[in-house]
Amino acid sequence: MNKTVRVALVALLCVGAAACSKKAEVKPQPPMEQNTQTQTQASDGKYTPADLDTDACLRQRVVYFDFDKTEIKPEFQQIMACHAKYLQDRPMSHIRLEGNTDERGTREYNLGLGERRGNAVSSALQAAGGSASQLEVISYGKEKPVCREHNEDCWGKNRRVEIVYTAQ
């Protein structure tokens, strides 16, 4: 490898690292011990769109997965519950579930894996009370990584489903 290439690679690695640390901010918080819903809900106990910005549970919009796994891990069950409640409280609201994978394997197979994870989150939200008509799944496979290093820490950040409200 010539020197120019090496310099270029180092530069790219730095860019990748910056992207990683930036994205780390949206990593979900550890599950809250207390139920946070009481302090932010409207008086009738229903969520309002304002809660999407303020409620500690609703603000968590990323579900992470273990390698080659589609199961929703226990620590994300509370997130499933609050978003499902929001869907119930706001029947006109709509969520797009964006499935993503790590870089290992081919692009097309990873499209399938991302969709499988999106479907798993969709099923969990429905099981917790959300309606199928409020949910849509799209898979980006490995096309939209948030971290570009080649290690498990980075791969774990990329194996995710992002919860995107397309209608509040």
Partner 1 sequence: MIKPMRKLSSSFALVLLAITALFVGPVSAQSLNVDIVGGVKTATPIVVVPFAQQGGAPLSTDIADVMRNDFNRSGKFRSLAKSDIVETPSKGSDIKFATWRLLKQDYITVGRVSDAGGGMTRVEYELWDVNKQQSLLAQAFTVPAGDLRGVAHQIADQIYEKITGVRGAFWTRIAYITAVGLGNNTSYSLIVADSDGFNPQVVARSKESLLSPAWSPDGRKIAYVSFESGNSNIYIQDITTGSRQLVSSHKGINGAPAWSPDGRKLALALSYVGNPEIFVLDLGSRQETRLTNSLSIDTEPTWAPDGQSIYFTSDRSGRPQIYQVPAGGGAAERVTFQGQNNLKASVSYDGKQIAMVQGNGNVYRIAILDRSLGGQVRYVSPGPIDDAVSFAPNASMLLYAATEGSRGVLYSVSNDGMVRQRLALADGNVQEPAWGPYRQR
Helix axes 107-127, 77-89, angle to 10 degrees: 70
Structure tokens at 106: 């081919």
123 touching partner 1, by CB under 8 A:
no
Between the CA of residue 34 and those of 30, 31, 87, 133, 150, what are the distances in Å?
Answer: 12, 9, 21, 31, 36
Find the binder of partner 1 among 28, 112, 129, 156 (CB under 8 A): 112
Question: Which listed range, 31-39, 84-92, 106-114, 121-129, lies at the site for partner 1 (CB under 8 A)?
Answer: 106-114
Could you tell me how many residues of this chain bind partner 1 (CB under 8 A)? 32
Which of 142, 138, 136 lies closest to 109, judged by CA? 142
15 touching partner 1, by CB under 8 A:
yes
166 touching partner 1, by CB under 8 A:
no
What region, left, alpha or beta, does residue 106 occupy, with left being phi > 0 and alpha being psi -120 to 50 degrees?
Answer: beta
- Site mask, partner 1, residues 127-146, x = CB under 8 A? ----------xxxx--xx--
79 touching partner 1, by CB under 8 A:
no
Question: Which listed range, 3-11, 24-32, 56-64, 87-95, lies at the site for partner 1 (CB under 8 A)?
Answer: 3-11
2 touching partner 1, by CB under 8 A:
yes
Binding site for partner 1 (CB under 8 A): 2, 5, 8-10, 12-13, 15-16, 19, 103-109, 111-113, 115-116, 119, 137-140, 143-144, 148-150
